[in-house]
Structure 1
Amino acid sequence: MAAVTPVMARELAVAQKVCVRPIMRRVIDRDTDTDQRVAIPCGSTRESVCPSCAHKARILRMQQCAEGWHRTEEPEQDSATATATRPDDLLEEGEPGPDPVRGEDSQDRARRARSTRRRDDVCELPRVTPSSTTVGAVYSAPNGREYRPSMFLTMTLPSYGAVGSGGIPLDPDRYDYRRAALDALHFAKLVDRFWQNLRRCAGFKVQYFATVEPQARLAAHLHAAVRGAIPRQLLRQVIRATYVQVWWPSFDRAVYVDRLPVWDGEEYVDPDTGAALPTWDEALAQVDADPDARPVHVARFGKQADMRGIIAPSADAERAVRYLTKYLTKAVADPISDDADEWDPAREAHIDRLHTELRYLPCSPQCANWLRYGLQPKSPGAGLAPGRCPAKAHDREHLGLGGRRVLVSRQWSGKTLAGHRADRATVVRQALLTAGVLAPDVERLAADTLSADGHPRFVWTDTKTDPISYSRVILESIAERQRWRTQYEQAKAAGGSVDDRSATAQPP
């Protein structure tokens, strides 16, 4: 029989949902003086990197979305989610908010006072008495049936120019790439402001599970599962009235292009005169002192928005959960459709134009690109150079969307993503134990297992793998997964029905 090549092993691993690029570790058992190689899943969320791990990550997000969407009781918060950074907008991992990489921190806002009067070109928003509830209201139908609807909401950024099929600009020279890039860089703050405004107008702590995805034209749009029903007229009003003003120093004119500022050990100075560049605080003070100063950018949502009611359990709710998580495994620059050509010169040119614009735009107060405009970034250090900011928002893969792709409010399900992952593992163990099958010993090589001498029994070290060893490890992982899957299916058949989504009882 011919040997299994790495390519064959990878294709088989993808088919069996086994990690195709595992992290290899060598584990030495000090008690038996033996060693073995252990393959640890890479955990990537990108299909282009590892389809199997990306699939598992998407399934976990689907569970998280479904579990919190149509709750009828307030979720109980565990200790990991009970700590909030802000009383009006409790943040969980992945939710946008005050981030020193993307904007001002709380100390900056405390020192710098600016008028909170709303812009003249936006409408005022209503204020209602706030409520601490997070679940939606109950409605009664004429037949006496009670139901608690929720919502599916889609919002996007405005137009930057006419586009044709595939989202390609009809006239790239007239397409506003600069505005598109700036909107992408500040999209997370715009989304955060929307939820703040909506909660103040809706009168309860609106909870959501949202995903950020690129349209074909590469502009970001947001899909959100919103718990509870909110009048569509109010939603449209909040969308129109939501904006983010960026009060930064001007970056319209490049000062250093062919020559770059020099780090003298304490600050950046002009390479010719040796004069220190203005600091970030000095530049902001100048903006504050100018009575005619205007924000360098104002981000708003576009006019297109879609909102519809969803009632669970229903086929519509299940389809909406799948749609919400459909593109989470793709990078921003990846083709939206699986049927799209892998190489489209017009699309690649569109991506290149947007990426070129993003390369030198500042993404945050700490961005190295401020040196290009004759200004020292906040908290400068040696080695900074314009066009080489390490923030992922400048990467071609992200195209300005440097934040997380999944945004989840803290009181969505009362659990962190790790908690949902533990639930899924507990489901498997309970099913196996009910059927009298020993669950896989996940701690069989635990680093905290001690020998008789009180020292760790298992010693973990890094190891490299060759193509032959790679194929063998992948095949062993596939065989192990198939064995576990067979045991689990037999346990489910012997032990009755099993809730595949969670190990905890959920409200009906």
Structure 2
Amino acid sequence: MVLPTFPDVDRIQRRIQAPDYRDWRAKVEDVYGCLHPVRLSGLWQLTDKTTGQVLTRPDGRPAQTSGHILSPCGNRRESVCPACSDRYAADAFQLMRAGLSGGSKGVPLEVADKPRLFVTLTAPSFGPVHNRRTTASGKLVPCRCGTYHHEHDPRIGQPTDPEAYDYRGHVLWQAHSGKLWNRFTQKLRRHLARAAGLTVREFGDHARLSYAKVAEFQRRGVIHFHAVIRLDGPDGAADSTPPWATAELLAAAVQAAHADTTVTTPALGDGQVLELAWGEQVDIRPVRPAQAHQFEDASGTISDDRIASYVAKYATKGTGKSEAADRPIRSRDQIELLRTTEHHKRIMRTAWDLGAPVACPDCHPGGEHQAGACPCAEIDHCATCNNGGQVPGPLAELNLRRWCHMLAFRGHFLSKSRAYSTTFKQLREDRQTWRFEQNLAELGVTADTVAVVNHWDMTSVGHRSDEERELAAAIAERTRQARKHRYATERKD
């Protein structure tokens, strides 16, 4: 039997030549090329509040949208959706920058005159890893393994001796890093109060500690934190900082709090309790005009806004990366199928094993099920495990299996104090308000004279074919390059 042959057809070209391509492309451009858009079906209308009639645009089209639309997935990870990851990073940039230079997002310009620090806190060493070291003059020196590593060498960040690497300590530190940061801010307030001659209770009546923190994965698979820390008056950014609050005092308090912060783990299976602390390396940089010689423009003018933009860009550069799996792990066998390094797999295996349940002590007093003559055979019902045979392990509160795909990191990638600047929610609402006001201006009406009909139901997620996905990725890349070009040509400072 001879199978019929078909001519080679360019699937991308066939999709572009389809009758509905222009309409599909417009919808994808509206979500900036999102790779996993949420498909919604429903209706949106602007109607006259008095008559109920649908308003008409100047070109005669009704002010309504019906049928199918796309909504962005909003995923932070660049490996999942570059378009939405870009949006997240851009919002993070605006959030960070507003708290540094002020003058936008409801933050007054006066914050630029307050004591501000850019602080990087790192994790301790859990064992030597391959790295690319340089001297102060920039000269490359060999790794401890004797090799000069290229900057993209996949061995960078991998243990030189995997068997001696402290994977348990790595996982437990990572799982407690959020708690370690909270403890650090508490210690920082105490040291600031002590330096000012105040009690911790009195400190809140004189000053407020404001901060924004971004988590970033190092290549060895452990988190470190970039943070902008600012000293405000008691009412926040709009309130004057007390005279005793200087950048030098704040830097000394950060140094002391860094050395003073520790947390303890729950008791492990062998009864051992670990004490966790920050790594020895801490980078504290005042954000002030004294550093601005690096950011002078062509005329030699120093711009505080340029400093703020640089710090915000550096602080948010890692928000779209995870160095691990994109989705939760459901079984230990799934770890072996991941396309990542053996080092990262061992971190995830360790997290999975540490988060495992243990044998019920009432059903299995010996610790394991004994085939044939186990005490559990003589128990009709066990209230401890409900006849499941297992109970949560000593580290159950850490949810290590749930966060195994994140190498046991359980925190948010960007968090901030309440008074630092705006919020992600407010940024989204500002965009919605801007679009709504655009529609009102086009129609020549005001918000108090119209009623909005807005009802949508989700029908599916993702593009319908590989061709659509590839085209959406191209649209996302073109949108990114256009934005970069526009930013480079419009920015004057």
TM-score (norm 2): 0.57
What is aligned with 1:27?
A: 42
- Higher helix fraction (1 or 2): 2
What is aligned with 2:168?
A: 178
Matched, 1:150 2:153: no
Q: Distance in 2 between matches of 1:382 and 1:71?
A: 60
Shift of 1:434: 6.8
CA contact (8 A) 1:155 1:221 kept: yes
Which digits, 9 at most, give the CA deviation of each residue in 1:443-494, with x for residues without a partner?
96612xxxxxxxxxxx73625787369949x88xx79x99xx99xx9xxxxx
What is aligned with 1:192?
A: 182
Q: Distance in 2 between matches of 1:42 and 1:398?
A: 20
What is aligned with 2:358?
A: 371
Q: Where in structure 2 are the equivalents of 1:371-410 lying within 5 Å?
A: 371=358, 391=399, 394-410=402-418
Secondary structure class of the residue paired with 2:312: helix
Match of 1:348 among 341, 348, 361: 341
Matched, 1:55 2:86: yes
Shift of 1:201: 1.6
Cα distance change, pair 334–357 in 1 and its aligned pair in 2 (3 A): closer
Q: Distance in 1 between matches of 2:268 and 2:457?
A: 52
Cα distance change, pair 18–303 in 1 and its aligned pair in 2 (3 A): same
Q: Distance in 1 between matches of 2:86 and 2:385?
A: 40
What is aligned with 1:163?
A: 129
CA contact (8 A) 1:14 1:51 kept: no
Cα distance change, pair 27–433 in 1 and its aligned pair in 2 (3 A): closer
What is aligned with 2:424?
A: 417
Which of 1 and 2 has greater Rg? 2
Match of 1:37 among 59, 68, 71: 68
Cα distance change, pair 14–410 in 1 and its aligned pair in 2 (3 A): same
Secondary structure class of the residue paired with 1:307: strand
Q: Distance in 2 between matches of 1:172 and 1:394?
A: 25
Secondary structure class of the residue paired with 2:188: helix
Matched, 1:252 2:270: yes
- Matching residue's letter, 1:402: R
Which digits, 9 at most, give the CA deviation of each residue in 1:137-175, with x for residues without a partner?
x9xxxxxxxx43411000011111111131111111111
Secondary structure class of the residue paired with 2:405: coil
What is aligned with 1:287?
A: none
What is aligned with 1:69?
A: 100
Match of 2:319 among 328, 349, 354: 328
- Provide structure 1 residue ranges, at least 5 long, that are not aligned to the other structure: 77-134, 139-146, 254-294, 336-344, 363-368, 448-458, 490-497, 500-508
Q: Distance in 1 between matches of 2:346 and 2:415?
A: 28
Which digits, 9 at most, give the CA deviation of each residue in 1:100-146, with x for residues without a partner?
xxxxxxxxxxxxxxxxxxxxxxxxxxxxxxxxxxx87x9xxxxxxxx
- Provide structure 2 residue ranges, at least 5 long, that are not aligned to the other structure: 1-9, 46-52, 55-64, 132-155, 194-206, 232-246, 289-302, 327-337, 364-383
Q: Where in structure 2 are the equivalents of 1:421-460 lying within 5 Å?
A: 421-427=428-434, 446-447=454-455, 460=457
Cα distance change, pair 223–373 in 1 and its aligned pair in 2 (3 A): farther
Q: Where in structure 2 are the equivalents of 1:81-160 lying within 5 Å?
A: 147-160=113-126
Shift of 1:391: 4.0
Shift of 1:307: 0.8
Q: Distance in 2 between matches of 1:409 and 1:393?
A: 29
Secondary structure class of the residue paired with 2:457: strand
Q: Distance in 2 between matches of 1:214 and 1:315?
A: 26
Report sequence identity in percent: 26
Cα distance change, pair 420–25 in 1 and its aligned pair in 2 (3 A): closer
Q: Distance in 2 between matches of 1:252 and 1:373?
A: 16
Which digits, 9 at most, give the CA deviation of each residue in 1:396-437, with x for residues without a partner?
530010221112111112x43211222244445557767888
Q: Distance in 1 between matches of 2:15 and 2:215?
A: 40
Q: Distance in 1 between matches of 2:387 and 2:360?
A: 17
Q: Distance in 2 between matches of 1:215 and 1:469?
A: 33
Match of 2:310 among 309, 315, 319: 319
* Count of residue pairs the alignment pairs up: 343
CA contact (8 A) 1:153 1:225 kept: yes
Cα distance change, pair 219–67 in 1 and its aligned pair in 2 (3 A): same
Match of 2:228 among 206, 225, 229: 225
Which digits, 9 at most, give the CA deviation of each residue in 1:180-205, with x for residues without a partner?
11101111111100001101222332
Q: Distance in 2 between matches of 1:237 and 1:409?
A: 21
Q: Where in structure 2 are the equivalents of 1:257-276 lying within 5 Å?
A: none
Q: Distance in 2 between matches of 1:164 and 1:62?
A: 31
Q: Distance in 2 between matches of 1:61 and 1:391?
A: 27
Q: Distance in 1 between matches of 2:362 and 2:317?
A: 42
TM-score (norm 1): 0.55
Please, what is the CA RMSD of the aligned residues?
Answer: 5.1
Cα distance change, pair 29–16 in 1 and its aligned pair in 2 (3 A): closer
Which digits, 9 at most, give the CA deviation of each residue in 1:12-49, with x for residues without a partner?
969983222111122279999x9622212111111111
CA contact (8 A) 2:217 2:224 kept: yes
CA contact (8 A) 2:43 2:454 kept: no
What is aligned with 1:215?
A: 218
Matched, 1:467 2:464: yes
Shift of 1:310: 1.0
